[in-house]
Amino acid sequence: MKFAIIGKGFIYPRHVQAIKSINGEIVEAISLEDGENAWKEMIKNTSADCIVVLTPNDLHYPMCKLALDCRKKVICEKPISITTKDCIDLQNYENIFVVLQLRHHPLAKELKENIKPENKYEIEMDISVYRDKKYYDSWKGQTARSGGVLFNLGSHYFDMLLYLFGDVKRISDVKINDKTGSGILEGDNYICRFKVSTDEPQTSQRRVFKINGKDYNFSSQDNLSYEDLHKYVYQDFLENKGVNPEESLKAIELIEKIYQSSI
């Protein structure tokens, strides 16, 4: 299968490695520095079977939509959009999948097998990482472009909460600023106290779910991409499987509701 990639930032090497792992061929790779409309021309003219979108979050939706309208398959880094409206629109298309590689983490598989709807769960979701001035000066520090800390950092983990435990029925005690969001989420059989922060010292970074007193540490590394899980996303893609817009919508709706409850 032939791939064309839009975006050559930090995450780009992970996708190159994952594409090689499935014997895919990268026929083109461009960045936003190649020109304002370069990505549009590439999508329209490329010989690739699949477009891979690795750009700032606010560009995910228009790039995915154009690629789908041009009858390309699409793999898009999370979040697939930063509004429910755009995500709902993408549900009208097939052959589009969002990168939520945390679902392939060994701990996620273990928990998915062991969590039972008849049991009660107390959860502490603590996603606290260090980000430097360069990060905040980039598009990732601009709420209009990134969707804010809950979209940019929290997408994986709110998706994981819903994937493992089911829908959130009540949101309370929300506090959000540019660097940190916290609050309480309640479902039918769980209560989750969450914290998502980019303001943690570098030496104590963590991505932990504490479930009924037991820690499940998804990563203490600087970035989740170092866990080498992208290859599983591409393996699913070859089998026409993965997280589609309909499934991805659940976390996007939840994040929007959390933001709204803080107003």
pLDDT digits (tens, 9 = 90+) for 49-70: 999 999 999 999 999 999 999 9
Share of the chain above pLDDT 90, in %: 90
pLDDT digits (tens, 9 = 90+) for 77-127: 999 999 999 999 999 999 999 999 999 999 999 999 999 999 999 999 999
CB 2 within 8 A of CB 47: yes
What is the reported pLDDT for 222? 58
CB 121 within 8 A of CB 211: yes
pLDDT digits (tens, 9 = 90+) for 204-229: 888 899 999 999 988 766 556 556 89
What is the reported pLDDT for 218? 83
SS3 154: coil
Give the number of other Cβ atoms within 10 Å of residue 120's Cβ: 10
CATH architecture designation of domain 2-100+228-243: 3-Layer(aba) Sandwich (3.40)
Q: Is the pLDDT of residue 6 over 70?
A: yes
CB 27 within 8 A of CB 74: no
Q: Which amino acid is at 210?
A: K
pLDDT category of residue 179 using cuts at 50, 70 and 90: very high
The beta-strand segments (E) located in 106-233 are 121-128, 170-176, 180-186, 190-197, 206-211, 214-219
Share of the chain above pLDDT 70, in %: 97
What is the reported pLDDT for 220? 65
Name the residue with tokens 């504490």: 210
CB 61 within 8 A of CB 81: yes
Q: What's the pTM value of the predicted model, to 2 decimals?
A: 0.93
pLDDT digits (tens, 9 = 90+) for 119-175: 999 999 999 999 999 999 999 999 999 999 999 999 999 999 999 999 999 999 999
The strand pair at 206-211 and 121-128 is best described as antiparallel
Alpha carbon distance 177, 148 (integer Å)? 9
pLDDT category of residue 262 using cuts at 50, 70 and 90: confident
Q: Do the first three CATH levels of 2-100+228-243 and 103-226+251-261 match, i.e. the same topology?
A: no
The pair phi, psi for residue 166, each rounded to 5°, is 95, -175
Question: What are the domain boundaries of the chain?
Answer: 2-100+228-243, 103-226+251-261
Structure tokens that stand for 45 in this block:
């003219």
Question: Is the CATH number of domain 103-226+251-261 3.10.129.10?
Answer: no
